[in-house]
Structure 1
Amino acid sequence: MAALREAAAAALLLSLGCAAAAVPLVIWHGMGDSCCNPQSMGYIKKIVEAKIPGIYVLSLKIGSNLIQDMENSFFMNVNDQVREVCSQLAKDPRLKGGYNAMGFSQGGQFLRAVAQRCPSPPMFNLISVGGQHQGVYGFPRCPGESSHICDWIRKMLDLGAYTQAVQEHLVQAEYWHDPLKEEDYRKNSIFLADINQERGINETYKKNLMALKKFVMVKFLNDTMVDPPISEWFGYYKSGQAKETIPLKETLLYTELQGQLEEHQKPARTAPLLQRRNDSMGITAGGTLSCKCSRALCSRATPPTRFTLNLLPRSCQLTAQGSS
């Protein structure tokens, strides 16, 4: 994962709001990464700490060391990981007043599960950078050092993604969403189908998700890690085939969760769906990042489609730059 991608994503978080005291930041890395990689999460942590003096940044580690943390991103039951994180957050006195959260790749949907299941301490804002909120149906490119693991994962998914053994011991199976086997997915997915409330509305999840002030989703238009990339915006394949994709508002999930998702598209909260043309994001010398807001999904009637997100803490809002 490129360092610039993570660094630019930090700009998104810093644009969410200003406060007299810096709000703590919790970040969760993606597949094959670790909490403290100096080229990814460690770099993000350093940038945020340098730009916002006194801020507390917690980069989540699942396991007793970095090797375990990386391995757990492949092999530890996601529900157990979420419980572990909820416990970490609840025990941390520096988070008792609340925090902002940013998840990268699979860390995006994992932190959404934290928001839905563990309201204390409160999560104020959630930014998902390339998170697969409708799941995946393929792994086109895996992190370089983990390619052999990904080859094994593909074999396991082909053999039986929704068997109990695979579901409980393979992280990627827990958000594997086979559009050709929707009933199997809804019945047997032990993580994603649950947090997406696909077996019935969970009023606790609904209440907790709607308590977020802002929920921002960033999609990379040329993403080579996620298949299909539209999952990063809650879109997915049309049921029954794996070629045509449909946007969020045309999915059955949107119909079922309409109130929860529409709440986060109100102008007062945020324009939640941002995109970049490339596979990664970059920051200008002045510390700003340009993103595009989907014209179809922005909350304003005639929305500008480009926004500048300032890395510096004094910039509190998304700043419209005009359509493009």
Structure 2
Amino acid sequence: MASIGFPVTLLLLGGSCWLSLGSAAGPVPLVIWHGMGDSCCNPESIGYIKKIVEEKIPGIYILSLMIGKNLIEDVENGFLMNVNDQVKLVCGILAKDPKLQGGFNAMGFSQGGQFLRAVVQRCPSPPMLNLVSVGGQHQGVYGFPRCPGESSRLCDWIRKMLDLGAYTQAVQERLVQAQYWHDPLNEEEYRKNSLFLADVNQERCINQTYKKNLMSLKKFVMVKFLNDTMVDPPASEWFGYYRSGQAKETIPLKETLLYTEDRLGLKEMDKAGKLVYLGAEGDHLHFSKEWFFKNILPFLQ
């Protein structure tokens, strides 16, 4: 089978009552958030996904999020716009879209996966029904193995900024990837200075509203790429991470404090059958159309 290749643009770092209404009024709308280095409408990546979903679900309304006024800004903002500002912007877009007010499904690719999770935690209206995270790094990353091209000046600059200090105020405010940089060797600094991830993962305190909103999802689907060479560690795609204090051994979600202390409601969601773990053979964001139709499409219908 041919894989859907997401080259440079997508390599790394988005009740029964309603179902009855959706059946009468048309398919449940879908919101998509692309990953780092990509844009809302790239015909070889997100644009292609949008097209094949529309072919399989006739009449579906799909909003592929553009973060900025044009495609260039959309790409740049994936590197340089404060994530909290991006989430706030998206919440405003969703709230104003009349086609989404009855509820919608959401699908995020790579960093778009954790950004859409922040949307459901912070902005419950209009309601997100199902969240599909395709390679999202929900416990963050501790490595930057590849960017859109090893020779990219922007990637070289990002690496230098992270080396200088991922948790300095200047880097946190300027660099998107620093805002989900999770250093297992320095958890205290991470919890104290991470502008985005430490907040949405309830690392500093428990926000009951975040927990309640996330638990409102019908399904939270997490796709992990089983041969991922670009996300460090790949376990983050299933909400696992490095065991604190070292950067070699990873532990699954159920062994993390987020789960055992149920900081996000994931333990309750798991018991209720709301968490779905999917594995995809291949590297980061590489999967076949057949795999997508079989494993992802059911959550969008």
- Give TM-score scaled by structure 1 length: 0.82
Task: Give 1:264 deviation, angstroms.
Answer: 2.8
Distance 1:145 1:66, change over 3 A: farther
Amino acid in the other structure paired with 2:276: P
Offset of 1:262 from its aligned partner? 2.2
Cα 1:65–1:170 shift into 2, 3 Å:
same
2:82 corresponding residue in structure 1: 77
Give the distance between the partners of 1:268 and 1:217, measured in 2 at CA: 13
8 Å contact kept, 2:131–2:220: yes
Give the equivalent residue in structure 2 for 1:43: 48
| Structure 2 residue 263 is the aligned partner of structure 1 residue 255 | no
Alignment partner of 1:59 is 2:64: yes
Q: Tell me what 1:142 maps to.
A: 147
Q: Secondary structure at the match of 1:90?
A: helix
- 1:154, distance to aligned residue in structure 2 (A): 1.1
Of 271, 280, 287, the match for 1:281: 287
Structure (1 or 2) with the greater helix fraction: 2
* CA distance, structure 1, for counterparts of residue 81 and residue 141 of structure 2: 18
1:241 and 1:256, CA in 2 relative to 1: closer, same or farther beyond 3 A?
same
Q: Offset at 1:54? A: 1.2
**Alignment partner for residue 183 of structure 1, among 185, 188, 193?**
188
Q: CA deviation at 1:263?
A: 3.0
Cα distance in structure 2, aligned partners of 1:5 and 1:129: 14
Code of the aligned partner of 2:226: L
1:283: how far off? 2.9
1:214 equivalent to 2:200? Answer no
Distance 2:295 2:37 in 1: 28
- The equivalent residue for 1:157 is 162
The aligned amino acid for 2:282 is: N
Q: Deviations over 1:210-253 (max 9, x none)?
A: 00110010000111221000000111111111111111111122
Q: Deviation per CA, 1:245-273: give whole Å up to 9, x if none.
A: 1111111222222671123324654x511
Structure-2 residue corresponding to 1:114? 119
Aligned partners of 1:86 and 1:118 also within 8 Å: yes
TM-score (norm 2): 0.88
Q: Which amino acid aligns with 2:279?
A: Q
* SS of residue paired to 1:63: coil
Q: CA deviation at 1:146?
A: 7.9
| Cα-to-partner distance string for 1:61-94 (whole Å, 9 max, x where unaligned) | 0100000000000000000000000000001111
| Structure 1 pair 259–158 and aligned structure 2 pair: CA distance change class (3 A) | closer
Q: Contact 2:37/2:75 (CA < 8 Å) preserved in 1?
A: yes
Please report the RMSD computed on the Cα atoms of aligned residues, expressed in angstroms.
2.3
Q: Runs of 5+ in structure 2 lacking a partner?
A: 7-18
Query: 1:264 maps to which residue?
Result: 269
Q: Report percent identity of matched pairs.
A: 73
Q: 1:199 aligns with which of 192, 195, 204?
A: 204
Checking the alignment, whether the CA contact within 8 Å between 1:108 and 1:128 is kept in structure 2 is yes
Q: Distance in 2 between matches of 1:187 and 1:310?
A: 36
In 1, are the aligned partners of 2:114 and 2:137 still within 8 Å (CA)? yes
The equivalences for 1:221-240 within 5 A come to 221-240=226-245
The structure-2 alpha-carbon separation of the partners of 1:259 and 1:107, relative to structure 1 and needing over 3 Å to count, comes to: closer
CA separation in 1, counterparts of 2:256 and 2:139?
10
What count of residue pairs does the alignment treat as equivalent?
283
Instruction: State the one-letter code of the partner of 2:187.
Output: E
* Per-residue deviation, residues 132-189 of structure 1 (Å, max 9, x unmatched): 0000001111123983212211110110111111111100000000111100000000
